[in-house]
Structure 1
Amino acid sequence: MRFDDVLFFPVTVFAESGAVDAELTAEHIRSRLPDGPGGVFAACGTGEFHALSAAEVGVVTRAAVGVVAGSVPVVAGAGGPLGHAVECARAAADAGADALLVLPPYLVNAPMSGIVAYVEAVIAASPLPVIVYHRANARLDEQAVARLAANARVVGFKDGVGDVGVAQQLVRAVAASGRDDIALFNGLLTAELTQQAYRALGIPLYSSAVFAMAPKVAKAYYRAYESNDEARRLELLDRFYLPLVRLRDRVPGYAVALIKAGVRLSGLPVGSVRAPLVDPGADDLAELQRILAIGEELVA
């Protein structure tokens, strides 16, 4: 499975009743497809996977699959308590997803053998290939990566820890496996901030939450990154991404809540975030609007 170009992590739209709005979720995804994402990661971090039931993961995934219509891969989230992760894997497969992003198990810490067993249980629950998310309480060591890389159903690893030494070890463990078909992703918050360093480690792909709310800015950054246009990349970094990160860091959970607010500001009524996340207050919303206006100016 190949991933090219910027990777799109759509928000999940909630109606006033609080239920998932499949039609508007599909419309949100459809509106971003002309900007050319290389993959759609539905019901994942930006899509508030933490707040979705397994059935809702299926609803969101089916909406994405329907509108994407095979033009790019659709990857769905699966994680949390093992039973929930298994149900999500099956729901995503039934909805037509191309792959799974396996997120960490719920709450508990476990030995490395247990983390590997968790991933293997999710793999066994559906026929889909999987990308394994290395983060939080699911941190992998070189031996775990080697064991998982030996499974043909594992097609990617995504780093959300941010320890460059460990990330380099994981890259080398994949290389030592002899697999040249495993994709490596930077999954840190606002990954554009760190991607230049990650590329130097051998991790060429990255998540772009920004693509959900400002696709032309995200695409401009990707083009500068891919073409080694440092002047343009740094202009976008200094004027758009760094101010956004400073705003993001004001309140826990803003990495998702700001993106959803930005989509609302564009005119699509995607609803509020679900608890425990909170929507931005008036002052932060005004600052987000100012940053988005700068982004529009940069790509005009």
Structure 2
Amino acid sequence: MAGTTRLLPAYLVVGPDELKRKQTVTRLRAHVEGPFADFNLEELVASADMEPVGVLSSLNTLPMGGDLRVVIIENAGKLPKPVSEAIIEYLKAPNESCTLLLVAETLAKSTRLYKAVAKVGPRSVIECGAPKRRDLTPYVQKLAAAHGVGIDADAASELVSRVGESTTMLDNQLSALSALLGGQGQLTRAFVEQNVARTAEVKPWEFLDRIAERDARRSFELLALLRGNSAIGLLSLVTGRIRELICARALMARGDARGIAAAVGKADWQVRGHARNAGRFAEGELEGLLVECARADRALKTGADADATMAVLVAHICGVR
């Protein structure tokens, strides 16, 4: 949409990335300016009681004091069928002075509405797919740069772990952190920890990454937050990570660090730190920890205190004796 001299009669902004959807809506709003902006911009939210007559009337209204009218319909994936069908018919001969923007978190490509908008013109459908977990760290770094600050990968990862994967929440939090730094400077992990409360549920993989790094302080913080989970289930994940590190260490000794992902049956991005983390343990230490995992498993299954058992194991993995 950006950079075009003439807007299409309709666009569909669809996908789970709320921030991208909002940014697209903001860009379209900017096309309607001047004293008649309020008249030439109408924003609607799809609801069960929405009627085709009202929507079509808005779409066919001519702009006042300008050459463009914009109609935005949020939650378009839940348009009542009569309204959706009316829009499909409208798009066959749309008002050339009006641009319709349909905004939806989800709308199947197989639907008649999706297909009708896709036929309007090139790039009429704007996909807003959410970043994958492996892409969130660089994504956060780009968002931080837009707020005038830098953020290293470790701090970005910590922010995601505390805030969650909502791009809007991450952007809002970065805006607040940037303001604390006066709109310039570098966001460190310590600064994030000090100024961002944890609101996201802890993911087990985050805990596994911290124990593999032998970061005792953060490992125990996350272990406490995971207390409501099954101790035996968590131990199974820990044991699996120790096995993966043993495999990584063996492959490194053979000069085949690139084969780690295939050997453990995971994607490359999932084992990105395995080679480095395996090197944090002394020769034979990982094998000894695997034995400790087996002992912890027996203890848990015979009624031992779950919190104490896991705390001792985590302490040993992190090198605290």
TM-score per shorter chain, which class?
0.3 to 0.5
Scaled by the length of structure 2, the TM-score of the pair is 0.31
Instruction: Answer 1 or 2: which has greater helix percent.
Output: 2
Scaled by the length of structure 1, the TM-score of the pair is 0.32
Structure of greater Rg: 2
